[in-house]
Structure 1
Amino acid sequence: MENFHQLLAGFHHFKQKYFLKERDFFESLEKQQNPKTLVISCCDSRVDPALLLNCKPGELFVIRNVAALVPDVSQVKAPSSVMAAIEYGVKHLNIEHIVVLGHSNCGGIHGLIEPASIASETYIQDWVAIASPALERLKNLTADETHICRTRHCEEGAVLVSLDNLLSYPWIYERVEQGTLKLHALYYDLREGELFRFSPDREDFLPLKRVPGENHLP
């Protein structure tokens, strides 16, 4: 979108093409929302969770922030918009799945790896510091790892840090232990247009295999 007027024109397009043609569906959304999946993703304009996962309005409860990060319970400061949204999704909407969605070429993770690039930006510095454990793990990589490879490891690692941090909240941990809530780690490759899912068994992000009949996450 080059200007604000295009946004307004876009709304009129939405109303004519979707809202008026699917009036019953949108009337049902007006009465309530009942999403089963909460997605925590980056606010990067190139990574739209609903578009990537082929979901309709009402199917995803979405939280977007720089680098798709979740603070540990010991790090969270009140008020916290991220934790307020997660708490609402889990306790009021009874979300069954939480997905942390990272991606390649993430500006937030770039700032973490190259702190000089955000040296004068206090809010960004403090926020991306949540992913510092992922940066620490890079020290275990061999010296011949390329910058691209190290960056990807850090981007993927940040997703896992957020997943671990979610479990630091007792009301999330209890639901995971009871089996009423499942956590998922995904990574989207912008260049290849591929989605990767973390496999605890392989301890790695593996290409997502298409399941016949499934158009999006459960």
Structure 2
Amino acid sequence: MDHARPLPKYLVQRYQGWKATSYSENKSWYRRLASEGQHPRAMIISCCDSRVHVTSIFGADQGEFFIHRNIANLVPPYEPDGNRHGTSATIEYAVTALKVAHVIVIGHSSCGGVKGFYDMATGAAPELKAPESFVGRWMDVLQPGYDRIKDHHSGQDCVDHLEKEAVKVSLDNLMTFPFVADAVKKEELSLHGLWHDIGEGGLLFYETETDSFQPV
């Protein structure tokens, strides 16, 4: 394997700084995490957008959150078809092995994945329609959300609504997993939907009774 290279210098410097300060000052805590394993209370499903930093938003320490990130914070429906399902496997591990008490889906403003789906759906991104497009086939998960709003919204307004539909689709799909539905029924697990405004620092939660997003 001759294509792997050493880390860029700026990352090496940041690591060395962390090891000399944060790690050194909390060495016993890190060693406890290593020896006792992880016991997170919540799983976070967020977008892999570099601007969304859930540990900063909630002031979380190491060991608090079990985090999974993917394009547009989507959860696919339960499909035990033998294919590789990274998101589904992560959910299974969080719920059945780690026994998290909460699964939180957090969407965000200016989501490139959601915009890509809208462009694909409206014919502006034919490359995403190609069968070999990993992004396009992944974003197909959002189709039910688009179908709910496409006759009522268009352009940027539709994209804005789609960001929240991505959260709702993921919440719906979570309940198609038998072990998730069973844990929710037994009141051992609760599901939560959030939307984060990157520029304003806002956070909204999905309220089922009104089918709307409200300030936290």
Tell me the residue number matched to 1:16: 20
Q: Which amino acid aligns with 1:12?
A: Q
The residue type equivalent to 1:88 in the other structure is Y
SS state of the match for residue 171, structure 1?
A: helix
Q: Partners in 1 of 2:39 and 2:180 — Cα distance?
A: 19
SS in 2 for 1:100: strand
Q: Distance in 2 between matches of 1:107 and 1:118?
A: 16
Contact 1:118-1:124 within 8 A present in 2 as well: no
- Alignment partner for residue 136 of structure 2, among 125, 128, 145? 125
1:152 corresponds to 2:160: yes
Deviations 1:74-111 (A, max 9, x none): 48762211111111111111111000010011111011
5+ long unaligned stretches in structure 2: 1-6
Q: What's the counterpart of residue 185 of structure 2?
A: 177
Give the alignment's Cα RMSD to 1 decimal.
1.7
Determine if the alignment matches structure 1 residue 94 to structure 2 residue 99: yes
Show structure 1 runs of 4+ deviating over 6 A.
none
Matches within 5 A, 1:69-84: 69-74=74-79, 78-84=83-89
Give the match for residue 3 of structure 2: none
Query: So what's the TM-score if we normalise by structure 1?
Result: 0.88
2:4 matched residue in structure 1: none
Q: TM-score, normalised by structure 2?
A: 0.89
- Once residues 135 and 200 of structure 2 are traced to their aligned partners in structure 1, the CA distance between those partners, rounded to angstroms, is 28
Retained in 2: the 8 A contact 1:118–1:125?
no
What do the CA deviations read for 1:182-209 (whole angstroms, capped 9, x no partner)? Answer: 000000011211011011122111111x
Tell me if the contact between 2:193 and 2:205 (Cα under 8 Å) persists in the aligned partners.
yes
Residue 28 of structure 1: how far off its partner (Å): 1.1
The AA in structure 2 aligned to 1:129 is: D
CA distance change for structure 1 residues 103 and 75 in 2, over 3 Å: closer, same or farther? Answer: farther
Which amino acid letter does the alignment assign opposite residue 81 of structure 1? Answer: G
Q: CA offset at residue 49 of structure 1?
A: 1.4
Q: What amino acid maps onto 1:9 in structure 2?
A: Q
Matched, 1:5 2:13: no
**Alpha-carbon separation, structure 1, partners of 2:46 and 2:154:** 26
Please say if 1:202 is aligned against 2:207: no
Query: What residue ranges of structure 1 are gaps of 5+ in the alignment?
Result: 209-218
Measure, in 2, the Cα distance between the counterparts of 1:187 and 1:98.
14
Q: 1:101 to 1:14 in 2, by over 3 A?
A: same
State the SS of the aligned residue for 2:25.
Answer: coil
8 Å contact kept, 2:78–2:88: no
Number of residues of Structure 1 aligned to a counterpart in Structure 2: 203
Deviates more, 1:118-127 or 1:83-92: 118-127
Structure 1 residue 137: Cα displacement: 1.5
Query: Counterparts of 1:44 and 1:108 in 2: how far apart (Å)?
Result: 9
Q: Which residue of structure 2 lines up, in the alignment, with residue 27 of structure 1? A: 31
Quickly say closer, same or farther: Cα 1:14–1:176, change in 2 above 3 A: same
Identity of aligned residues (%): 32
